[in-house]
Amino acid sequence: DGGITQSPKYLFRKEGQNVTLSCEQNLNHDAMYWYRQDPGQGLRLIYYSQIVNDFQKGDIAEGYSVSREKKESFPLTVTSAQKNPTAFYLCASSIARERGEQFFGPGTRLTVL
Amino acid sequence: KQEVTQIPAALSVPEGENLVLNCSFTDSAIYNLQWFRQDPGKGLTSLLLIQSSQREQTSGRLNASLDKSSGRSTLYIAASQPGDSATYLCAVINYGGSQGNLIFGKGTKLSVKP
């Protein structure tokens, strides 16, 4: 089955820790995205990547980092510099950045202890 | 700066009713508009994608329209069922500075009662 997988489903972070969220797709899509969803605020873009070894900051990139070493994978690291990381994180992909339909993974819920 | 608004924020209807969800956007220079469904604690499921050159798209009981000049889209759900209960999100992709990035509304939470 083609699709997007995210792991883990739930993640707990202690103060001062870096954590990495996994996103993998087997749709052969070039573009991949990370969004953050908070209650009452809708989805906001953290980072996006149009091609391997290239990525750009979105609207709320501070405290996050990404890499795109393989077409299939776009991991997100939430660093200790992110002051309010508790949220629902969603990964998405599309064939092309401007016109392609975006497909989403099941999400990772991150909670700071 | 593009802003996407969805009204109402919540809607409750009896089963079998036809209903319309509204989405408005402030900048008409868009590549496309996409409607999603989100169940509690889950990811987004793409329902319909309307390219900027199109006026509407249909999938089963769903029909989405796009009027770029007025900055509006509607999602029509025919013969609603309890399984349609979810939050429906509208998002647009702009030309310009944030090219290629989806800009979301805050959603309409739909409850269909048996």
Please give the interface size between A and B, counted as residue pairs whose CB atoms are below 8 Å apart: 60
A50 touches chain B (CB under 8 A): yes
The CA-atom distances, in angstroms, between A99 and each of A51, A88, B32 are 15, 26, 7
Name the band, by pLDDT with cuts 50, 70 and 90, for residue A41. confident
3-state secondary structure of B83: helix
* Cross-chain Cβ contact A98/B93 below 8 Å: yes
Which has the closest alpha carbon to A6: A95, A110, A111, A91? A91
* Cross-chain Cβ contact A99/B51 below 8 Å: yes
* Cross-chain Cβ contact A45/B42 below 8 Å: no
Least Cα separation, residue A7 to chain B (angstroms):
13
Which chain A residue shows the shortest CA-CA distance from B88?
A42
pLDDT tens for each residue of chain B, 114 residues long: 889 999 999 999 999 999 999 999 999 988 899 999 999 999 999 999 998 899 999 999 999 999 999 999 999 999 999 999 999 999 998 775 555 678 999 999 999 999
